[in-house]
Amino acid sequence: MKKLLVFAFSLLIYSNSYCQKTELRVSLDSGLSSFSGESAESSSSINLYNNSDSGYTNNPYGSKNVLSYGVSVNLKRITKANLIYGIGLGYENIGSKTSITSISVYDEVNSFNVPASGKTIMSVNTINANPFIGYRFNASKLPIDLVAGFDFASILNTKECGDATDEDENNYTTSIDRKTISTDFRPRIQVSTDYKKFGVYLGYSFGLLNYMEGYVGGTNTVYSKIFRFGITYQVF
């Protein structure tokens, strides 16, 4: 991360060299995020012990999308040949949704399932660094920037929050720390355009590191995926 910050400041120092120009933007980021992989599921159950009203989701790594959000700054250089290189830095919250279809109860003697409806949301808070390279099309009119790079995500925390109600209107909740890895690495592609000071972008990234690292028994592989969109403002 420190090397990436040094690279970003180096871009500013040499902003007037070799017929290049520097652009700095701030972004309000959003998108749709979920998990993929063999273990990602659209539905699961909440497991309870001894009739407690709180427990844990059997598999909280959902394949259903939730709305992500974040803020970032983006520093890029555009060469005379319209080549682009730069870096983005920011905060982001991603996650997933899993539908809850039953409550699984174990009372020290027997186990049984109770039909229920609800959902579990996984929430992953990260600090991202996104170095990238690309090309600017139609530079003299409405610029279109196509770039590719990587997200280096430092994971601050990962939490499961579930809520479900059974047929008798009994409510069950979960609130569990689910952090298993500290970093994620995601290839990323993005396209953006600007009109005067304002712009919009669309992007996609997919994680290469397993969020179920350390789990034992069965197949345990899930990876992040994010469809991004947002608005930008050019500072200079």
The answer to whether residue 15 sits within a structural domain is no
Range of the domain at 100: 32-125+139-234
Answer yes or no: are the C-beta atoms of 197 and 14 closer than 8 Å.
Answer: no
User: For the chain, what is the mean pLDDT?
Assistant: 90
Query: CA-CA distance, 158 to 97, in Å (whole number)?
Result: 13
Using pLDDT thresholds of 50, 70 and 90, give the confidence band for residue 3. Answer: low
| Domains contained in the chain, number | 1
Per residue in 200-220, is it b (16+ CB within 10 Å) or e — as a string?
ebebebebebbbbeeeeeeeb
Using pLDDT thresholds of 50, 70 and 90, give the confidence band for residue 7. Answer: low
pLDDT of residue 15: 46
**53/216: higher pLDDT:** 216
The answer to whether residue 201 sits within a structural domain is yes
Render pLDDT for 145-196 as a digit per residue (tens, 0 to 9). 999 999 999 999 999 999 999 988 989 999 999 999 999 999 999 999 999 8
pLDDT of residue 18: 54
| pTM: predicted TM-score of the whole model, two decimal places | 0.86
pLDDT of residue 212: 96
pLDDT of residue 53: 62
The answer to whether residue 150 sits within a structural domain is yes
The answer to whether residue 225 sits within a structural domain is yes
The answer to whether residue 14 sits within a structural domain is no
Beta bridge partners of 57: 46
The answer to whether residue 229 sits within a structural domain is yes
**8/103: higher pLDDT:** 103
The answer to whether residue 27 sits within a structural domain is no
Mean pLDDT of 43-61: 86
CB atoms closer than 10 angstroms to residue 52: 9
Answer yes or no: are the C-beta atoms of 70 and 92 closer than 8 Å.
Answer: yes
Render pLDDT for 85-140 as a digit per residue (tens, 0 to 9). 999 999 999 999 999 999 998 877 778 889 999 999 999 999 999 999 999 998 77
